[in-house]
Amino acid sequence: MDRRDFIRGLAATTAIFALPGRGGAVAPVSDPALAAFIRGMPKSEYHVHLEGTLEAEMKFALAKRNGMNLPFADVAAMKASYIYHDLPSFLAIYYDGMKVLQKEPDFYDLAYAYLAKAASQNVIYAEMFFDPQEHLKRGVAMADMIGGITRARGDAEAKLGIRSQLILCFVRDHSAQSAMAALDAALPFKADLVGVGLDSDEAGNPPEKFREHFAKARANGLKVTAHCDVDQTDTLRNIRTVLTDLKVDRIDHGGNIVQSPELVAIAKARGIYFTVCPTFSGTLRRTEKVPVDVVRAMMDAGLKVTISSDDPAYMGSEYVDDVLIRAVERSQLTRAELIAIARNGFEAAWLPETDQSAMLARLDAYVKAA
């Protein structure tokens, strides 16, 4: 099965499908008790793009509200178009889809729907990305983006008990000036942000392009993370840059690090957490003769792994529970490893230590009672 077939399968069904690198169909989790344990477990999520949670149904609803026509007959036809085979072909679909986000209530609805879904899966804390440059270029005001998302965060915490924070991502294939303009437009709302990140197409857009942006963000009290998508050109060079030059607080994806014992040692010494998304980036294949399972290899290297859903609306509508359940099978995780990953998920939080400890205590109590 090639990558295209895999993605087509993901778009078409949320039931059994084949995963890359496993050489065939993967059965649903063979241990229902473990699946139930995962579903009930207090969880976190750190690598989820809000625009990547924009489900086809909501796209139609927002298009209607905003008087837009979409070039798809129905939800099924739209989902059937979600066919991609690498990062650029994914991004083309993802950016096209987010054009329906125009006004403050659109961002509210998007964020609230994600938080409700996450809360229903016992996610008690999430840090979510958004890509403002893509919206600014269509004339959307930063106040409407951050305002809508912040309002949804408040309502979701009050009504559903899920706590969350927001990370502004620089879209790395736009100009450095455009990223700086986005940061400047966001700084008046910095109390509603916890950090900045770096996403989109890495080819030709190395992390040092954003050195000044990261420095300015830090000077404004924001944390810093960066995507190092798997199997990108110059991936180890870019991982080194984010670790030793930009000195990020976290790395998103970053699976190729297992190919460099030196970089692994640096990440461990710095206590770096990785936000791994096995649905999209679970296998090293371009840079390895034999495909390597990213989560397994990172766990074996002793790295601090967390697991997230990335862009679930484009990845078979699989949210974090499904992703974790599959990870257990696909990466052959023991129960102890699963719990270690869940604990990492609270230790990695950009929250005061007392809040982290309270969340860890909830997890520990759950595990003890299970």
Please report, as ranges, the residues that interact with ligand HPA according to CB under 6 A.
Answer: 49, 52, 87, 94, 199-200, 227, 229, 280, 310-311
Residue 229 Cβ, how far from ligand HPA at the closest point, in Å? 5
The residue range among 70-78, 152-160, 306-314, 346-354 that interacts with Zn ion, by the rule CB under 5 A, is: 306-314
What residue 52 binds from Zn ion, ligand HPA, none (CB within 5 to 8 A, per partner kind)? Answer: ligand HPA
Residue 117 Cβ, how far from Zn ion at the closest point, in Å? 17
Residue 171 Cβ, how far from ligand HPA at the closest point, in Å? 8
What residue 280 binds from Zn ion, ligand HPA, none (CB within 5 to 8 A, per partner kind)? Answer: ligand HPA
What residue 45 binds from ligand HPA, Zn ion, none (CB within 5 to 8 A, per partner kind)? Answer: none
> Toward Zn ion, which CB reaches closer, 42 or 197?
197
> Toward ligand HPA, which CB reaches closer, 112 or 129?
129
The residue range among 109-117, 151-159, 288-296, 309-317 that interacts with Zn ion, by the rule CB under 5 A, is: 309-317
C-alpha–C-alpha distance, residues 180 and 220, integer Å: 14
What residue 229 binds from ligand HPA, Zn ion, none (CB within 5 to 8 A, per partner kind)? Answer: ligand HPA
> Toward Zn ion, which CB reaches closer, 315 or 359?
315
DSSP-assigned beta bridge partners for residue 165: 127
> Toward ligand HPA, which CB reaches closer, 230 or 339?
230
What residue 325 binds from ligand HPA, Zn ion, none (CB within 5 to 8 A, per partner kind)? Answer: none
Give the 3-state DSSP-derived string for the chain, with helices as H, strands as E and coil as C: CCHHHHHHHHHHCCCCCECCCCCCECCCCCCHHHHHHHHHCCEEECCEEHHHHCCHHHHHHHHHHCCCCCCCCCHHHHHHCCCCCCHHHHHHHHHHHHHHCCCHHHHHHHHHHHHHHHHHCCEEEEEEEECHHHHHCCCCCHHHHHHHHHHHHHHHHHHHCCEEEEEEEEECCCCHHHHHHHHHHHHHHHHHCCEEEEECCCCCCCHHHHHHHHHHHHHCCCEEEEEECCCCCCHHHHHHHHHHHCCCCEEEECHHHHHCHHHHHHHHHCCCEEEECHHHHCEECCCCCCCEEHHHHHHHCCCEEEECCECHHHCCCCCHHHHHHHHHHHCCCCHHHHHHHHHHHHHCCCCCHHHHHHHHHHHHHHHHHC
What residue 170 binds from ligand HPA, Zn ion, none (CB within 5 to 8 A, per partner kind)? Answer: none
> Toward ligand HPA, which CB reaches closer, 310 or 321?
310
C-alpha–C-alpha distance, residues 362 and 343, integer Å: 10
> Toward ligand HPA, which CB reaches closer, 41 or 131?
131
Residue 311 Cβ, how far from ligand HPA at the closest point, in Å? 5
> Toward ligand HPA, which CB reaches closer, 37 or 280?
280
What residue 200 binds from ligand HPA, Zn ion, none (CB within 5 to 8 A, per partner kind)? Answer: ligand HPA
C-alpha–C-alpha distance, residues 260 and 298, integer Å: 11
> Toward Zn ion, which CB reaches closer, 293 or 310?
310
What residue 109 binds from ligand HPA, Zn ion, none (CB within 5 to 8 A, per partner kind)? Answer: none
Comparing C-alpha atoms, which of 108, 103, 95, 106 is closest to residue 139?
A: 103
Residue pair 313/55 in contact by the 8 Å Cβ criterion: yes
Residue 327 Cβ, how far from ligand HPA at the closest point, in Å? 16
> Toward ligand HPA, which CB reaches closer, 200 or 317?
200
DSSP-assigned beta bridge partners for residue 226: 251
* Position with the least CB separation from Zn ion: 310
Residue 199 Cβ, how far from Zn ion at the closest point, in Å? 5
Site residues (vs Zn ion, CB under 5 A): 310
